[in-house]
Amino acid sequence: MRLLLVEDDAMIGEAIRAGLRRDGFTVDWVHDGETAEQVLKTESFDVLLLDLGLPRKAGLAVLSGLRARGDALPVIILTARDSVSDRVQGLDAGADDYLVKPFDLDELAARIRALLRRKSGQTAPAIEHLGVVLNPAAHTVQRDGQDIALSPREFALLQLLMERPGTIHSRERIEGRLYGWGEELESNAIEVHVHGLRRKLGADFILTVRGVGYRVRPA
C-alpha cells in the first residue's frame, strides 16, 4: 500500500514515515501543500495523510481541491489543532478520518488499515481467497492453515492482488503501488516477486494475463 504523507514538521514526518515503513507501507513524503497538490494530480496513492497547518497551501485547501476534482482518495487528517471546529471542517471538506497530534503510530497504522477495508467493502480484518488467508494487521499469510513466510514486497503484492480478486493489475500499476520515490526497482522486480509467490502458494494461484498483467485465480 502506497501512502502520501504531507507534513512540514521534519521530526514528526520522519517518525511517521519510519513507523509506517516498519509496518510494511510504502511512504512518499512531501513538506508543503503546493507540492502535495502537484503530486496528487499526477500520481496515485492508496491513502493521503494530510497535516492541516502547511506552508504554501493549507491542508484544507489541498483536500477541497482533491474532492473538487472528483478524486475519492481516502484521506486521514493529522492535526495539532485540538478544536472541534477544525475536525468538523476537515470531515466536512471530505476527510475520512482524523488523528490529533501527538498520536500513537500503531493507532495510525490501524486506522489506515480500517479505512482501506471500508473503501474496498471488506468487513473482516483478514482477506481469504482459495484457502489463502492474508491478515494485513498481523502481517501473516496462511495457506490451508499453514503459515507462509513472505518478503515485505511479496506480502504487499499479494495483498494488492487479493483485495480485488476480479481485477487484472498491470506491471506498471503494481510497481507504482509497491515502490516509492528513490527506491531501487530492477526491471524484472515484479516478475521475481510473482515467481516467489507462486513457489510458496502454488504455481496457479497467480495468473499471468498475457500483455495485460496479473490477477489471482478466480474462485
Task: Select from 47-55, 86-94, 154-162, 171-179 the region that touches Ca ion (CB under 5 A).
Answer: 47-55
Task: Select from 51-59, 98-106, 128-136, 210-218 the region that touches Ca ion (CB under 5 A).
Answer: 51-59
Backbone angles phi, psi at 10, to 5 degrees: -60, -45
Binding of Ca ion by 8 (CB under 5 A)? yes
Binding of Ca ion by 86 (CB under 5 A)? no
Least distance to Ca ion from the beta carbon of 37, Å?
Answer: 16
How far apart CA 34 and CA 56 sit, in angstroms, is 6
Binding of Ca ion by 163 (CB under 5 A)? no
Classify residue 182 as exposed, middle or buried by CB count within 10 Å of its CB (0-12, 13-18, 19+).
Answer: exposed
Closer by beta carbon to Ca ion, 28 or else 154:
28
- Using N-to-C axis directions, what is the helix angle for 10-22 and 105-119, rounded to 10°? 60
Binding residue count for Ca ion, defined by CB under 5 A = 3
Task: Select from 7-15, 17-25, 141-149, 199-207 the region that touches Ca ion (CB under 5 A).
Answer: 7-15
What is the DSSP pairing of strand 132-135 with strand 127-129?
antiparallel
Closer by beta carbon to Ca ion, 8 or else 71:
8
Which strand (E) or helix (H) includes residue 108? helix 105-119
Least distance to Ca ion from the beta carbon of 25, Å?
Answer: 21
Which one of residues 53, 165, 176, 202 is an interface residue with Ca ion (CB under 5 A)?
A: 53
What is the DSSP pairing of strand 47-51 with strand 75-79?
parallel
Which one of residues 28, 37, 51, 86 is an interface residue with Ca ion (CB under 5 A)?
A: 51
Cα 6 to chain centroid, rounded: 14
Least distance to Ca ion from the beta carbon of 90, Å?
Answer: 14
Q: In the sheet where 75-79 sits, what is the strand order? A: 26-30, 2-6, 47-51, 75-79, 97-100
Closer by beta carbon to Ca ion, 8 or else 175:
8
Residue 101: DSSP 8-state: S
Closer by beta carbon to Ca ion, 81 or else 171:
81
Q: Could you list the residues that contact Ca ion (CB under 5 A)? A: 8, 51, 53
